[in-house]
Structure 1
Amino acid sequence: GMDKAQRRARAIELFKQVGIPDPADRLNSFPHQMSGGQCQRVMIAMAIACNPKLLIADEPTTALDVTIQKQILDLLVSLQAKYGMGLIMITHNMGVVAETADRVIVQYKGRKMEEADVLSLFESPKSNYTRALLSALPENAVGDRLPTVTDMLFEAAPSGAGA
C-alpha cells in the first residue's frame, strides 16, 4: 500500500491527467464547489486509478454543455489510447456516438436491435428502431413537429412487426 503522502501525490497526479486545474487545491474541494465538468473529471480519475483494461462510461456527457462534452469525450479517447484500455460508452446522445464510437449496439427496452460499425449505422441502419431513432433527431426533422421514436416505429412497422 501507500502511505498518506503517496496517496495524496497519486490523487494529484490523477487530477493532472484528467485536466483538473490546480489539482492540489482541488483535492480538498467538495462536489458543490466544482463545476459539472470538473466533477466528471474526478469520476474519470477515480475510474482510471486502478489502471483498468476496460472503462465503462455511462452517460459521460449528460448535463454538460457542448464545449465541456467535447473536452470529456476527447479526454476519454486520449486516456483509452494512453492506457490501451477498452472503452464502452452508454449514451442516448447520437452525436456522442457519431463522434467517438467505432462500433455501436443499439438497444430498445434492453434488447439488442442492431450492431454495426458507426458509419454503417448512420448511413444504412438495418432495424426499424434505429431508423426511427435517427429520424427523430432534430437535424432530420421535416415539418413543424419533431416525430417521436414511437411515431416512427408505428409508421415503419404497420403490421406490428416492431423493431
Structure 2
Amino acid sequence: MPQFNNLSELEKYLNTGKGQQTVFGQRDVRKALNEAAKLLEKIMHEELEAYYASYTPVDGGYERTYGLLNSLRISPITQVGNELHINVYFDRESATHPSIFGGEDGYVAKLINDGWSWSNTSVNIYHLSHYEGFHFVEKALQRFSSENKWGFRISKNNVAK
C-alpha cells in the first residue's frame, strides 16, 4: 500500500480505481458496479417511459415499436489498466428504426435524445419533420448522480455509437 503525506493525497488515491479496489477489494467493487449499472439502467428506462408518455404519435403510418425502450443492455465488467468499467448501452440493432420515408435508417437513441430536423422545409410537422430532443440521457445521468451512493465516476459516451 502506498504511503501518504496528508489527507489530500489519501483522498486523491481513494478516488482512483486502484484505491477503491485496495480498500473494498475487487469482488466488492464489481458487486457495487453491477448495482450501479442496474440503477442507471432503471433510471434510463424511466426517462424513456417519460418520453413515450410525453406525446402520442398522430396517425400517419407510424406505430411505436418500443424497440429503444427494450434495447437497454448492461455490458460485462472489463478492466482497463487499474480501473473497472461497465457500460449501460443500447443494442444498436434493436435501437435502429427504418425510415418511414424510405431513407436512411435512424438510430433512435440519438434521434430522441438529441433531436432532428428534416431538410424538406415544405413539411412542418412536430415530431415528424423536426424535434428538439428529449435529452433523456442527460436527465438520467443527473438523476443517477444524485443517487450515486458509491461515488463512481460516470461519463456519457457518444449516444450515436
Higher RCO structure, 1 or 2 (CA under 8 Å, sep 6+): 2
Both structures adopt the same fold (TM-score exceeding 0.5): no
Higher share of residues assigned helix: 1
TM-score tier by shorter-chain length is under 0.3
Q: With the length of structure 1 as denominator, give the TM-score of the two structures.
A: 0.27
